[in-house]
Amino acid sequence: MSESGNTSFQQLSLKPLAFAGIFFAFLLLGGTAGFIVYQGNLQKRADEVQSMYKDLLDFRSTLTLIDQQLIVIPEHPEVLQEIIQNTKLLQFRSVNFRTRAEKNQMPELASWMKSRQLVLEKMLTDIETKGEAAGNNIPLMILELDDVILQAAIDVKLSNDKVYDAVQLFFFIVLAVLIIIIISAGWLIVSNYRQTVMPLNQLAEKLRMLNEELPESFHDTAEEVKKNIRREEFSSDVNQITDSIVRFCQDIELKNKKLDELFIKDEKTNLYNYRHFKDHLIVDVARAKRFNEKVSLAMIDIDRFKAYNDANGHVAGDIVLERMAGIIREECREADIPARFGGEEFAVLFPRTDSREAIEIVDRLRNIIGAEPFYHEKVLPGGQLTISAGIATWPDDATDWFSLINNADKALYRAKHTGRNRVVHFRELEMEREKKSSES
């Protein structure tokens, strides 16, 4: 080493570097610990809000069941005890929801549950004393609950977004601190030990160049890091951090995807829910008007499903719903929108499809379901579970999306009352009406 190099080495003090390293180490440790606590609290609240959202769906299902059971009390008085038990369960859940909502800073849900406790208490008193709910407010409660559930779903989305944003911010802060440490240490050491510190200098340069070209998406950023940085150039610790970031990002992407599905899918059948179906129906009818295309809609109902439930129980009925939904999903084309319309009724939207093609698809679906062996279906008349369907096509049978649903439903009603296990197109009703008019 030259004399000037020796002089430079003697003048170099490692104390500032050591103090800076200790400072940044404590900064990273303190920041990481604070982030872990903060992120843990955010994740805990997100999990609790998501759990409450699912419980609200169960609450609504029980409330809907009570409403349906109240209708059949005169014919089936034996369901009275089940109604009382379900109502008591809702009372207990409303108290639990109120406590959890207050704990998780959801004042609207807490206020609604508080106001509904008195209604449920009065309804329980009426049922126990009179065998009926005087002034049945359940339909109104269900409508209000739908708004509460929607708000809870929004809270779930916001809570998960907060977790995602916190992780993203922490990632970029850590990356910035690492870049500062590497560049600062490299600038000091490379000037005196170029031959020794050259690999670190090259690494700092690569990270600087990568930072300038980071894509906006957190997922894309992690993939870019994984793709452009060769593992052999880094220590095992850095590689583990990189892999952890990539895995964590993939987990966030998966949770967001599941949350998106939660908004548009029916929980029991995994078909699209009514809200998503309605949005697509409105858009597809508007597109058909613009481009002079046809849109067909099929309303499908399971024949004698109540009798099947009464004979085999609701668990077996749920299995039938899931299997039929699976068959509908398998037989639909990629562009079709199969949805659960409500109860045992399904709807399938056929964009850019005329009535003839829609009838062929639904009739094939009817034959497949009729041939499918279901658990204990022999108890039904005819010994098999079947479906009836009504079809309407825009613009031949309707002027807008609303009348398209109504006319398909009318065709379904006709199919149910003319023997079941058949497919009826709305045009058939029109032709019968025209024939009667001409005869009269």
Note whether 199 and 281 are same-domain residues. Answer: no
pLDDT for 78 beyond 60: yes
Note whether 194 and 283 are same-domain residues. Answer: no
What residue has token string 């029991």?
268
Q: Which residues contact 31 (CB under 8 A, 6 or more apart)?
A: 170, 173, 174, 177
- For residue range 405-421, list pLDDT tens digits in order: 999 999 999 999 988 89
Residue 16 backbone phi and psi in degrees, to 5:
-60, -40
Coil, strand, or helix at residue 270?
A: coil
Note whether 382 and 298 are same-domain residues. Answer: yes
Q: Which of 225-229, 296-300, 426-430 bottoms out in mean pLDDT, i.e. has the lowest?
A: 225-229
Note whether 55 and 175 are same-domain residues. Answer: yes
| Alpha-carbon distances, residue 322 vs 60, 266, 273 (angstroms) | 19, 11, 14
Note whether 168 and 278 are same-domain residues. Answer: no
Is 267 within the bounds of a domain? no
Is 5 within the bounds of a domain? yes
Average pLDDT of the segment spanning 30-56? 78
Nearest residue to 79 (alpha-carbon basis) of 70, 87, 88, 91: 70
| pTM reported for the whole predicted model | 0.44
- For residue range 314-364, list pLDDT tens digits in order: 888 888 999 999 999 998 988 999 999 888 899 999 999 999 999 999 999
Domain boundary among 163, 179, 212: 212
Note whether 294 and 407 are same-domain residues. Answer: yes
What residue has token string 């481009």?
291
Note whether 203 and 318 are same-domain residues. Answer: no
| Alpha-carbon distances, residue 411 vs 272, 360, 407, 421, 435 (angstroms) | 22, 16, 6, 13, 17
Whole-number Å distance between alpha carbons of 166 and 178: 18
Note whether 169 and 62 are same-domain residues. Answer: yes
Burial of 436 (0-12, 13-18, 19+ CB in 10 A): exposed
Note whether 284 and 199 are same-domain residues. Answer: no
- For residue range 244-279, list pLDDT tens digits in order: 656 665 666 666 666 656 678 888 888 999 888 999
Confidence of residue 64 (pLDDT cuts 50, 70, 90): confident
Q: pLDDT value at position 387?
A: 92
Is 12 within the bounds of a domain? yes
Average pLDDT of the segment spanning 99-111? 74
Is 260 within the bounds of a domain? no
Domain boundary among 212, 237, 261: 212
Is 7 within the bounds of a domain? yes
Note whether 10 and 134 are same-domain residues. Answer: yes
Bridge pairing between strands 423-425 and 387-394: parallel
Is 148 within the bounds of a domain? yes
Note whether 303 and 201 are same-domain residues. Answer: no
For residue 395, cis peptide bond before it (omega within 30 degrees of 0) = yes
Q: What is the DSSP string of 318-366?
A: HHHHHHHHHHHHHHS-TT-EEEEEETTEEEEEEET--HHHHHHHHHHHH
pLDDT for 195 beyond 50: no
Full domain range(s) for residue 385:
274-439
Note whether 197 and 302 are same-domain residues. Answer: no
Domain boundary among 182, 212, 242: 212
Helix ranges, 12-131 (H) = 15-71, 80-103, 107-130
Is 343 within the bounds of a domain? yes
Q: Which residues contact 151 (CB under 8 A, 6 or more apart)?
A: 108, 109
The total number of structural domains that make up the chain: 2
Is 223 within the bounds of a domain? no
CATH number at residue 374: 3.30.70.270
pLDDT for 365 beyond 50: yes
pLDDT for 9 beyond 70: no
